[in-house]
Every structure is written in structure tokens, then in C-alpha cells.
């Protein structure tokens, strides 16, 4: 079963706008990770946030984590057409594996 659930399932924005995606999960975690998948390609790791961290930045990406609400958000600022992809959250919990959500399809219109 999927641990992380992304919201929304699909998001369409104009180039230059910010994109926010949310992830909710059910059990305690060691860390939460975000991945990007371009069409027909493998997943690429974007950022990892540990359970004792609340916010993390990497370039135009900002990730927040609220362990009390069991939720995370990924913000992409000043989006570009090249950001068009599917974005997945994945949780690392007590099992020795990641559990992926079903993803958010982001479309950035030029």
C-alpha cells in the first residue's frame, strides 16, 4: 500500500509561477524524500529531509516537513517549462525500504 499520498494529482501553471505539491503519510518516518520523473525516464532524487528537520532548500526547491501532521510540501519557485514532470514523495520508515506515493503531474506552460 502507498504510504505517501500526493496532492494534487495534477497541477498546471504558467512559466514563472510557483508550484506547490503536498504529501501526506501515515506512520513515523526516518526521513522523507522527493523525486522527479520525466516522461519515460527513471526517477531522479531531488531532496531529502530528516524527521528532525522542518525546512530544507536546494536551489529553487523548498521542502517543509510537519511530523505532527504527517505531511510535507514541495515548493518550486519561478517554474520553467523544463520543470514539467511527475513528482513523487517517498518515506523511509521502520522497514528497510522507501515507500512512494502515486505522484503529482506538473505541467508548466510556456
Cα-Cα-Cα-Cα dihedral sign, residues 15, 18, 108, 38: positive
Sheet strand arrangement including 61-66: 5-7, 19-24, 71-76, 61-66, 55-58
Q: Does 2 bind another protein (CB under 8 A)?
A: yes
Q: Is the dihedral of CA 38, 46, 64, 1 positive or negative?
A: positive
Q: Looking at residues 68 to 107 of the shown chain, list those that interact with another protein (rule: CB under 8 A).
A: 88, 90, 92, 96-103
Which CB sits closer to another protein, 10 or 81?
A: 10
Among 38, 41, 57, 78, binds another protein (CB under 8 A): 41
Q: Which residues bind another protein (CB under 8 A)?
A: 1-2, 30-31, 33, 40-45, 48, 88, 90, 92, 96-103
Amino acid at each position: 500500500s502507498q504510504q505517501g499520498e500526493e496532492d494534487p494529482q495534477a497541477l498546471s501553471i504558467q512559466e514563472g509561477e510557483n508550484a506547490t505539491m503536498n504529501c501526506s503519510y501515515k506512520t513515523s518516518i526516518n526521513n522523507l524524500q522527493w523525486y522527479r520523473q520525466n516522461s519515460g525516464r527513471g526517477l531522479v532524487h531531488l531532496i531529502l529531509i530528516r524527521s528532525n528537520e522542518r525546512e530544507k532548500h536546494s536551489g529553487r526547491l523548498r521542502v517543509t516537513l510537519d511530523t505532527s501532521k504527517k505531511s510535507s510540501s514541495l515548493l518550486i519557485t519561478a517554474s520553467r517549462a523544463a520543470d514539467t514532470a511527475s513528482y513523487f514523495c517517498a518515506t523511509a520508515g521502520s522497514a528497510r525500504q522507501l515507500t512512494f506515493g502515486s505522484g503529482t503531474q506538473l505541467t508548466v506552460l510556456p
